[in-house]
Structure 1
Amino acid sequence: MSSGSPSRLLDPAIFPDLKDKIEQETQVKDALTQIVQKLEATNSYAQGLLSRIHATPANIVNPGLLAEVELEVKKEIEIIKELSDYASQHPYYKYNQKWSWTMNHVLFTVILCGFLGGMATETKPGEFGRLLTPDDISEILQVPVNVKDRDVFHITIEEYLTALTMLCDELSRLATNSVTLKDFDQAVQIQSFVKELFGGFLLLNLKNDPLRKRVDGVKYAVKKTEEIVYDLTVRKLVAPPGDASSSGEMVG
């Protein structure tokens, strides 16, 4: 065989075919990136609105603030539909890393808004709403959860749990700022909730290493809020746990 003749061991069509496949995958990734960037921008604005809770006592949180956040969530729902329609045309687990981080933050935004009394959760002035479930999230965002029988865009249980760990971090920060605002009752409510949520995490047998590490980190949020409530109790700014006379007003 002369050096100039093609090898019988190599099909000359292999690399042009691979080149076409790589270009197709690049086009898919670029399209997903553009949609996800729109979603990130909208969600960042919503989170910026929610950050105002750190400077506002719970009993005077403006319902208009939550309404503004809900308006941004509606915009996110439209973008998520666009993302779902496009992503569902391609293998889920081949591309889901393109949007998973962003969806963690979207879920966190929705869960925090609901916990503060938005997203149609029932609440009273000065009290929190409730923790939205995966089914609640699915209904709000109009996206299925934990789909196993078909290859479509969906919210994973891991994304929901990651959002809950983010909620714990945010609430532990809110507990500190609540004390600064002399909203002691809110700090006590946060401590109780974070501790209860961590107890729920302990029931899970997590195999996902990054998620397990995030859940392990929740213990620091628990410790931080416990220290805050302990200090308030020692200073007689709140009644001891279990005391029905617990109050956010200074005693004595």
Structure 2
Amino acid sequence: MDSDTKMTEAPNTRLLDPKIFDHLKNKIDEDQQVRDALSQVIQRLDRAISHVQGLLSRVHATQRSQYPAFLAQVEAGIQDEITVIGELNEMASQHPYYKYNQKWSRSIQNSIFTVLLCGWLGGLSPNSSAESTEPQQGRLVTIEEVGSILKVPVNLKDRDSFHITIEEYLFALVDLTQELSRLAPNAVTLGDPALSIQIASFVGDIFAGFQVLNLKNDALRKRVDGVKYHVQRVEEVVYDLTLRGMVPQGSEDADKPSSS
């Protein structure tokens, strides 16, 4: 009798509750739903960014006199980016930032790049007015200005919410130097050597600025190391202009190396 009682009670001594896995499955499903929802918004953002990048690529065949109309189209495209980023901000801020930020980080870098390039070419200028016809070129849009333009906070430390990080800004800045190093020789082709010299000075200053940063991100440090090749590329353009006597007056020092 005692033996039979023990045998019937044995199944009830299990320590593993099957409901634990049901709970885990629900958590996994919830996480996947969040990721899918974020992916849909990010895909829309990527499409908006690709449109603006396509517009910006036309700068390599655009005279500076045509920049106002050209930049108006770019700014309109950036407004579409801002709208989608607003939706991403609202959705992402409901969840732990560092759990999902890898999903949108590259897209945000690309969006920042479009703002930086547009700003450098003279768009998005806070000093522009309705009476101004000439864009203010050569300006570096700061990370705070980028946050203001995209309507999201930057480098948050006091709360767990969607924001632009310093690393994302610096990655975009590297992309800017690369794009400007492409523009430098194309500007000469367009008969605008002064723009090439302006680019050389700007890219050299950016590279010098990078040297004072103590970068901990290995991927970012490698990208920043590549900026020296962007500097070399534009310096070669200016050197060739100097040999041909095409350096405008007042730019005699522009061809000097800005880095060692």
TM norm structure 2: 0.87
Seen in structure 2, the aligned counterparts of structure 1 residues 127 and 90 have a Cα distance that, compared at 3 Å, is: closer
Residues 28-59 of structure 1: CA distance to partner in whole angstroms, max 9, x if unpaired?
Answer: 0000000001111011111111111100132x
Give the alignment's Cα RMSD to 1 decimal. Answer: 2.2
Residues 200-232 of structure 1: CA distance to partner in whole angstroms, max 9, x if unpaired?
Answer: 000000001111111011111001111111111
CA distance in 2, matches of 1:7, 1:88: 44
1:230-249 equivalence runs, <5 A? 230-238=239-247, 243=252
Q: How many residues align?
A: 243
Q: Which runs of 5 or more residues in structure 2 are unaligned?
A: 1-6, 256-260
Question: Given the alignment of the two structures, is residue 207 of structure 1 paired with residue 216 of structure 2, yes or no?
Answer: yes
Secondary structure of the residue that 1:15 maps to in structure 2?
Answer: helix
Aligned-pair CA distance for 1:241: 7.7
Aligned-pair CA distance for 1:17: 1.0
Quick one: which amino acid aligns to residue 234 of structure 2?
T
Residues 74-128 of structure 1: CA distance to partner in whole angstroms, max 9, x if unpaired?
Answer: 1211111110111000000000011000000000001111111100255874861
CA distance in 2, matches of 1:117, 1:211: 27
Corresponding residue number in structure 2 for 1:250: none
Question: Given the alignment of the two structures, is residue 148 of structure 1 paired with residue 154 of structure 2, yes or no?
Answer: no
Larger Rg: 2
Report percent identity of matched pairs.
Answer: 55
1:51-62 equivalence runs, <5 A? 51-58=57-64, 60-62=65-67
CA distance in 1, matches of 2:103, 2:15: 37
CA distance in 2, matches of 1:105, 1:179: 27
Secondary structure of the residue that 2:31 maps to in structure 1?
Answer: helix
Name which of 150, 164, 168 aligns with 2:177: 168
Q: Which runs of 5 or more residues in structure 1 are unaligned?
A: 247-252
Aligned-pair CA distance for 1:62: 3.2
Seen in structure 2, the aligned counterparts of structure 1 residues 51 and 151 have a Cα distance that, compared at 3 Å, is: same
Any conservation in 2 of the 1:35–1:83 contact (CA below 8 Å)? yes
CA distance in 1, matches of 2:139, 2:217: 27
Any conservation in 2 of the 1:35–1:79 contact (CA below 8 Å)? yes
User: Runs ≥4 in structure 1, deviation > 3 angstroms?
Assistant: 4-7, 121-127, 239-244
Question: Given the alignment of the two structures, is residue 120 of structure 1 paired with residue 110 of structure 2, yes or no?
Answer: no
Seen in structure 2, the aligned counterparts of structure 1 residues 7 and 174 have a Cα distance that, compared at 3 Å, is: farther
1:32-51 equivalence runs, <5 A? 32-51=38-57
Secondary structure of the residue that 2:226 maps to in structure 1?
Answer: helix
CA distance in 2, matches of 1:241, 1:7: 90
Corresponding residue number in structure 1 for 2:107: 102
TM norm structure 1: 0.90
Any conservation in 2 of the 1:233–1:240 contact (CA below 8 Å)? no
Any conservation in 1 of the 2:41–2:88 contact (CA below 8 Å)? yes
CA distance in 1, matches of 2:196, 2:229: 15
